[in-house]
């Protein structure tokens, strides 16, 4: 909170951490992170646009990531 005040920010923009862990599947270990879902996900956008994303949308996603 103090850092946000010194940077004149109301928030950092990082989702809250809910949990994490790992799971072994077919001998391979997979790690996962649990965070809240906000709004629409990329998979839904992909389906809604006929399984082809517009260039402008891809550019916006790239900037946000």
Residue 45 clears pLDDT 90, i.e. is over it = no
Compute the average pLDDT of residues 36-62.
90
Taking the domains of the chain in order of start, what are their residue ranges?
A: 2-64
Q: Is 59 a residue whose pLDDT tops 90?
A: yes
pLDDT at residue number 14: 84
Long-range CB pairs of 34-39 (<8 Å, 24+ gap) are: none
Alpha helices of the chain — where are they, by DSSP H? 2-6, 42-48, 55-64
Convert the pLDDT of each residue in 9-36 to its tens digit. Answer: 988 888 889 999 999 999 999 999 999 9
Residue 1, helix vs strand vs coil: coil
**pTM (2 decimals)?**
0.47
**What integer is the mean pLDDT of 37-42?**
86
């Amino acid at each position: 909170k103090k850092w946000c005040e010194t940077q004149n920010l109301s928030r950092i923009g990082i989702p809250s951490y809910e949990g994490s862990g790992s799971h072994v599947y077919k001998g391979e270990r997979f790690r996962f992170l649990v965070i809240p879902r906000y709004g629409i996900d990329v998979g839904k956008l992909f389906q809604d646009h006929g399984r082809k994303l517009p260039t402008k949308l891809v550019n916006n996603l790239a900037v946000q990531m």
